[in-house]
Structures are given as structure tokens and as C-alpha cells.
Amino acid sequence: MSQLLRIRTEIVRWTSVVCIAVMCAGGAYAVDGDAAVQRALQQAVSRPAPAQVDAQAVETLSFRRDAAVSARVRQETIRAFGRDPQQVADLEKVIGSGEMLREFDKILRRYGYDPTNLGDVLAAHLLISWEVVNDRDSRQSPAGQRAVRRQLIGPLAAVPDVAAMSDADKQAQAERTAYLTMVSALTYQSMKQQGNRQALTALSANVRQGLRGQGVDLQGVSLGDGGLVTR
């Protein structure tokens, strides 16, 4: 059995922990300057993506990974979602192995995203959340997948508090978002395979509510060549 399959099996087994995590997914954008970040998200989905992104904006949101920061975020995530010693032990298997973050990196690279860029990570979170909320597969629109990062990077880099973040802060925010995104995605895949429509409906509602708290209703957004655009 592959490591990722073991992770998925553990997630299915500990659905209660997963649901807590996904219900907290709105915190993925909990960075300094929340109101400005909300405006950036709203601006991003209000119009199609530009043809290209300013190189300076990309550089502003990029960061170098530090193994110590990754270790700290892993432990913070496990402590946040573990409600008792057994759950903590199981989350150590799911998150502590590092495989979940490596899989997230692979997904981003398939999109043409950079996992060491906060804008790309938040764009992936937005895109995968859209899939969960609308029960859709973004692979049907490869151009749309590539466009979402172009939509988000410019507005996000223009937020002063975000632009002022240190590498460590950008990395920590990106990796917290990565775990929430992967938990949501793996839960969605597993529930879909099981045909558990009731659980899928609840998951969709929780993820939708998290993004609505940031000013974006993903049920009112379509994916096309211009990215995720409000209908």
C-alpha cells in the first residue's frame, strides 16, 4: 500500500478529526491585514486573469523553505486538530510523515504553480476548494487552472501587510494552508469514492462557509480560461 493511500485510509478512519480541520479552513487566509486580503480575493475573482503576472509581485510572495519552520507548523497542526492522545498519534502518521506536504507540492507543480510562493499556495487552496464546493474537476480546464495564480498573485502582493511578511511567516502561512487544503481534498475524494452524498454535502457546506467568511462565495464562481470568475 502506498504512503498516500495509507494517509487517505487514516483520514477516512478519523473523519471526526478531518471535519474539525475542514470547518477551520476559513483560517487558511488568516494573515495580517485580513480586510485587505479579503478585498484582494474579491478583486481577483471579479475579472478574468491578466495575460501575465508582474515579476516583482511573484518575487514579493516567494519564500525560502526552512526545515525548522516546517517542523513547527506540522506540530502546531497536529496539536490544533488532535482532541485526545489517540487522535494526536494518528495525526502524527497522517501529517508528521511529511508525505502530505510532498503530495501537495506535486499537485501544485502539475498546475504550473510554485509551492514556495504564498500566492500560488493560496490560489491552489481557492481552486481545490472550488472543486469541493461545486463537485467539479478543474482538470477539465487546464488553462483555467493556470490562470487562477495569475488572478491572485498581483492583488495579494499589493496588500502591504502581506508584502511585509518575512520568509518564515510566508512559509508558515503557506504550509498551514497546504494541510487544510489536502485534508479537504483527500476527504472529498474518499467520500466521493464511498458514494457518501450526505457527508459530501456537509463537507461542501463547510468549505463554502470558510471562503464566504473571506468574501468569496465559490458557488457563484465559474472556472474557465480566465480562471475563477464571479458569474
Q: Is the pLDDT of residue 8 over 80?
A: no
**Cα–Cα distances in Å, from 217 out to 45, 83, 223?**
10, 30, 13
Name which residue leads in pLDDT, 70 or 88.
70
Gyration radius of the chain's alpha carbons: 17
Q: Please report the pLDDT score of residue 130 as a whole number.
A: 96
Which band of pLDDT confidence, cut at 50, 70 and 90, is reported for residue 23? very low
pTM recorded for the entire structure: 0.86
Q: How many domains does the chain have?
A: 1
Strand boundaries in the chain, DSSP class E: 221-224, 227-230
Q: Is the pLDDT of residue 172 over 60?
A: yes
229 phi, psi to nearest 5 deg: -125, 135
CB 5 within 8 A of CB 136: no
Q: Please report the pLDDT score of residue 45 as a whole number.
A: 93
Q: Is the pLDDT of residue 3 over 60?
A: no
Residue 7's contacts (CB-CB under 8 Å, 6 or more residues apart) are 93, 94, 97, 99, 100, 103, 186
Q: Please report the pLDDT score of residue 11 as a whole number.
A: 52
How open is the CA angle 8-70-175, to the nearest 5 degrees? Answer: 60
Provide the domain limits for residue 202: 3-230
Q: Is the pLDDT of residue 28 over 80?
A: no
Query: How confident is the model over 129-162, as pLDDT tens digits?
Result: 999 999 999 999 999 999 999 999 999 999 998 9
Q: Please report the pLDDT score of residue 27 as a whole number.
A: 44
Q: Please report the pLDDT score of residue 4 as a whole number.
A: 53
Helix 118-134 vs helix 167-194: crossing angle, to nearest 10 = 20
164 phi, psi to nearest 5 deg: -85, -5
Query: How confident is the model over 71-103, as pLDDT tens digits?
Result: 999 988 888 777 778 778 877 877 888 888 999
